[in-house]
Structure 1
Amino acid sequence: MTETAFYPIGTPSRAWGPAEFDAWRARQVRHRSYADDVVSVIDRLRDRFDVEQYGELVYSDERHPLFAIRSRHWDEALPCVLVTGGVHGYETSGVHGALRFVDLHAEAYAGKVNLLVAPCVSPWAYERIHRWNHDGIDPNRSFREPSPAQESAALMRLVAPLLGRFVAHIDLHETTDSDESEFRPALAARDGKPFEPGLIPDGFYLVDDTENPQPAFQQAIIEAVERVTHIAPADDKGEIIGSEVVAHGVIRYPLKALGLCAGITGARYTTTTEVYPDSPRATPEQCNTAQAVAVDAAIGFVLAQ
């Protein structure tokens, strides 16, 4: 079913121009601090891991440094694993789940793999609890050359020297009620298209790569996370957010074709996690733990192969 959804910016059936983007930016309010919530946690990890600034977002009079955490004893002979969080800044457990993984689990992999963790790819959006960046662009549709998003371009520059060495990439996300109440209506308004309502799944699920499916890898993560929080069921069409459920809690997207973050390394094992923080059956603590457990299980599976 297609409906006309009210969105307070723009004219139906007409894509936004500069005036509409200005009006949209004027509505964005800073709700939290990247420096206090994220950078301070990264700083506390510096005595155990190497931390590098891999870029800086510059938006008008705002500057946000971008940080990555590396294994302390990086070994050029070892394969690499990339963990990313906060590609969509509003997806809170992606950020804090990545940091929790580093704090609680990462040292166990010393001498086994090189870990590279970018816990908050989109700090401007993190502060505003938003999906898009300052320019009204979705970074997770912008991992292509040339990228229109500063966030995506910076991350691609970070991983470029290591391409061919990654065995796994785990990209941490959330699906929230605000996807349906705010972000998808905004997307339709921005692009001058009709809004098509969908369903938000209640539970955790994964997105595998249509072009490189790894069902055993995905299932190992699902089994580990299911001990922490519930897995999203298929809807009455056998789908989750409009995609066929190919296994318990697993759907597939063509990652590279869509410009998704999980497609940037060319690793054999890739996944995008999707936590549902608005569920009455899940707490913020469970959401953060589910993300950390997903990363831990993913790397454990890879090392066992």
Structure 2
Amino acid sequence: MNKNKKSVLVTGSKGFIGSNAAKHFRNLGFEIFGIGHGDLANVELVKFGLDHWKNANVTIEAMRDYGISFDIIIHCGGSGSVGFSVENPYGDFKKTVDGTLEVLEFIRLYSPESKLIYPSSPAVQGEHCDSPILESYVGKPCSPYGYHKKIAEELCRSYSEKYGLKVSIVRLFSVYGVGLRKQLLWDAVGKLSKENSEADFWGTGQETRDFIHIDDVMYIFEQLAKQNLDFVLVNGGTGIKTSIRQTVEKIREYLKKEVNIVFNNEIVPSNPMYYCASMGHISSLIDCNFKPLEPGLLEYVTWASNEQ
């Protein structure tokens, strides 16, 4: 452990967002401590942007074992799947809610100067009309994943108000980028790369999403970590909506495939129809000159088509 460096703890640091956070803050000169599942050899630490690694659940004991007070904690640990939450609500609750409570108690008791960054989701708000979603909008989650994220957010707010913890919650919309091996973009590249005449997708194709590149997510984390705010909740999106049909058709174009795209028109109750971030609040805090979708999507399709 380097006493001359500031420290960042990243929970869930082997995941897509967690590993990118670890690498980003390591490149900024921080010493990076990770907690998550699975063994990592020393030669693998650099791959995930880590200086130190602990194969453990996110618990007070695991965090205390490092023996230091962290400057920043980025809590990416927890469930990252709506589907998993529907199939296993108990497991999803334990991962998301219990893990967040452990982090908050650790900060309260042993690392009160830590700044906490918590990636959340607009799933806490559920269905919304076809207009940008304000952070203040109070909706009804459509899935256990959304309910559990909502509980975790309220825990963060409570600990900030009652115990003076510095907490930044970022409701991340549709994060994408090289390295993401799940969700719509990954699945679409796989389906459209096959030598088939037709590719089938769920929904109507009219559903909209707000895609934000992982580099811009890291920029948001970095800028919020620089500020000395007691509590802030912001949208992590771009304010630009893109339909699923448009997105899939663009992927087909990049792949140069002649594939008929078919939507089954089946509505998935746990997936809201419209997602687009209101950018007013976050724009008042940081410069939001984010990457347009098309160059980032082309980069992603090029990478994903070589990985499948």
Q: TM-score range by the shorter chain?
A: under 0.3
With the length of structure 1 as denominator, give the TM-score of the two structures. 0.26
Higher helix share: 2
Q: Which has the higher contact order (CA 8 A, sep 6+)?
A: 1
